[in-house]
Chains A and B, each alone.
Chain A
Amino acid sequence: MSRLIKMDHTGHTTLAEWTEADQAAFELAVEQFRCGLDEGYIAVHDQGGAQAEQLRELPRDAGLVILRRPIAGG
């Protein structure tokens, strides 16, 4: 089961969950993913082992994809 979550004021919100076989759920996840990018979020795939990758497209077998806000120098 893959998950798309958004970090927000509630801690985080799960926007979509899908499996590789579930085309309808994946399409819904892609829609939510694009909405998140349009709102200015940055999509990150934490690959485990302390590596992360920025995503511009949602992979079907993503695992956990996190939408985060941009950072800036304080």
Chain B
Amino acid sequence: MAAATGGGVLPELGQVPWRARTDRRYLRRNARIWTAWTLAYGIPFPAAALALVWLEPLAFPVALACLAHGWIIPELYAFRGASVVRPKGPRNESSEPMAQGLLGDLLDHEPRELQRTTGLAVQQGGFGVWLVAEAGALLIPPGGRRVHCFCVRTTDRELPPSDRIAHLLLALRTDEEGFATVANHAFCGAPWRVRRRMPERMRPALDAARCAARAA
């Protein structure tokens, strides 16, 4: 799989002039912030639940609410991350075969087969391995221990699904840093947290991308 290394600057960066260009340092910092955020929910609430029960066993219902709070909020964040790759918008079944043909022409043999079965286009980039969906993308940095979830779409929502993927793929290949800058960062966390909330047919694509990221 060849890496996306286009040397241009994405014209859409003009829409977000206030954003600093995304680089590896930004991604690492973002990953640390998400880890701290998860720990901030995952440790204090269960600890408070235990303390409540220890101090006053009759406070058991409140302790349960604390536990639920510490579990539900990280779950919701991970759900938001997985949602970026869910199929969205019109299916355009009449024009989709033609769009699929064009997308297939843009992909090598293995990524083409993977895209046809999972709906996600895999693309090696400078930041790691990307999985491009209709209205979002996942990035698995080298090592495969994390996944960044980006919400990004074409401005024409009525296009066939494969055309929407092709739009994102071409933008990514033109300027990977610009692509990550224009996209909205939705979540970062362990791949298993995202995987179990992804549609089942898409999970093999994440597994393949993790393998490729580990080998990188």
Contacts and interface: CB of A to CB of B under 8 A. Distances in A.
Which size class do B's interface residues fall under? 35 or more
Given A9-B92, A50-B3, A71 B153 contact: yes
B49 interface: no
B194 to A, nearest CB: 16
Interface in B133-180: 135-136, 151-156, 158-160, 162-163, 166-168, 170-171, 173-174, 179
A52 B158 CA distance: 24
Interface residues of A, number: 26
Contacts of B174: 44, 52-54
A67 to B, nearest CB: 10
Interface in B95-112: 95-102, 105-106
A46 to B, nearest CB: 6
B11 to A, nearest CB: 6
Contacts, number: 117
30 contacts: A7-B167, A9-B92, A9-B158, A9-B159, A10-B95, A11-B96, A11-B98, A11-B160, A11-B162, A44-B170, A46-B170, A46-B173, A50-B2, A50-B3, A50-B4, A53-B6, A54-B9, A54-B10, A54-B11, A71-B179, A71-B182, A72-B15, A72-B154, A72-B155, A73-B16, A73-B152, A74-B136, A74-B153, A74-B183, A74-B184
